[in-house]
Amino acid sequence: DAGVTQSPTHLIKTRGQQVTLRCSPKSGHDTVSWYQQALGQGPQFIFQYYEEEERQRGNFPDRFSGHQFPNYSSELNVNALLLGDSALYLCASSLTARGPGANVLTFGAGSRLTVL
Amino acid sequence: GESVGLHLPTLSVQEGDNSIINCAYSNSASDYFIWYKQESGKGPQFIIDIRSNMDKRQGQRVTVLLNKTVKHLSLQIAATQPGDSAVYFCAETYTGNQFYFGTGTSLTVIP
């Protein structure tokens, strides 16, 4: 059973460019969340997608946008890249349902973005 | 914003000893907490969770304690092994959708 898969694993961009990161959730999961993890810090919530809509958003500018597809996979787009956007971007999937453990996030290995 | 912090950024323990990692949270409305383990080059891995209607929960070699009075969470690892070396994060939520993570504690197990 494949877990959460993310691509690409590493990428380098220059300031002002745009980037798209991709995520396939764990089998059986219907909800995808994106987190940004700066070096030495804990993950910071960007947004969550469910039923192809953004359900909740963290404190990130509109340069960060996303999408969820009918097969539950998701993309994270970042426009007008800044040096401070350099980080590990983590995708996490979960199941929106009642019951214990429903909210548990299963994380992918992340996409390491470096902005020069 | 939310404040989920850890008391100690680093922790070193001898193999076989017990480890205790602490976490303070600031939002009394948080009702669900998770401990994650993150090894170098990997994403966070679920360890154990606890809901606010519980004070203690045990897993395999791990125990989570929740003290809502002082808004404190701890993770106890019994008989710590070299494979337990990693960064440990506590995460809280009151919406069920957005989790707030602490800065993390780096655990090093000395053989």
What pLDDT shows up at residue B72?
95
> B53-106 pLDDT, tens per residue?
999 999 999 999 999 999 999 999 999 999 999 999 999 998 888 999 988 999
> A45-93 pLDDT, tens per residue?
999 999 999 999 999 999 999 999 999 999 999 999 999 999 999 999 9
B contacts of A40 (beta carbons < 8 Å) = 103-104
Distance of alpha carbon A31 from alpha carbon A95, whole angstroms:
6
The b/e string for A95-115 (b: 16+ C-beta within 10 A; e otherwise) is beeeeeeebbbbbbbbbbbeb
- Examine the pLDDT at B7 and tell me if it is beyond 70: no
B contacts of A90 (beta carbons < 8 Å) = 43-44
- Examine the pLDDT at B3 and tell me if it is beyond 60: no
- Examine the pLDDT at B6 and tell me if it is beyond 60: no
In angstroms, what CA-CA distances link A6 with A26, A92, B11, B42, B103? Answer: 11, 10, 31, 12, 23
- Tell if the CB–CB gap between B46 and A48 is shorter than 8 Å: no
A contacts of B42 (beta carbons < 8 Å) = 109
Q: How confident is the model at residue A98 (pLDDT cuts 50, 70, 90)?
A: low
Sign for the pseudo-dihedral over CA of B36, B37, B39, B42? negative
Give the mean pLDDT of chain A. 94
- Examine the pLDDT at A34 and tell me if it is beyond 70: yes
Give me A98's structure tokens.
Answer: 């009642």
The b/e string for B92-106 (b: 16+ C-beta within 10 A; e otherwise) is bbbbebbbbbbebbb
Among chain B, residues having any CB pair with chain A shorter than 8 Å are 1, 4, 32, 34, 36, 41-46, 49, 51, 89, 91, 93, 95-104
- Tell if the CB–CB gap between B97 and A56 is shorter than 8 Å: yes
The b/e string for B51-69 (b: 16+ C-beta within 10 A; e otherwise) is eeeeeeeeeeebbbbbeee
Comparing A10-14, B1-5, B69-73, which segment has the lowest mean pLDDT? B1-5
Q: How confident is the model at residue B1 (pLDDT cuts 50, 70, 90)?
A: very low
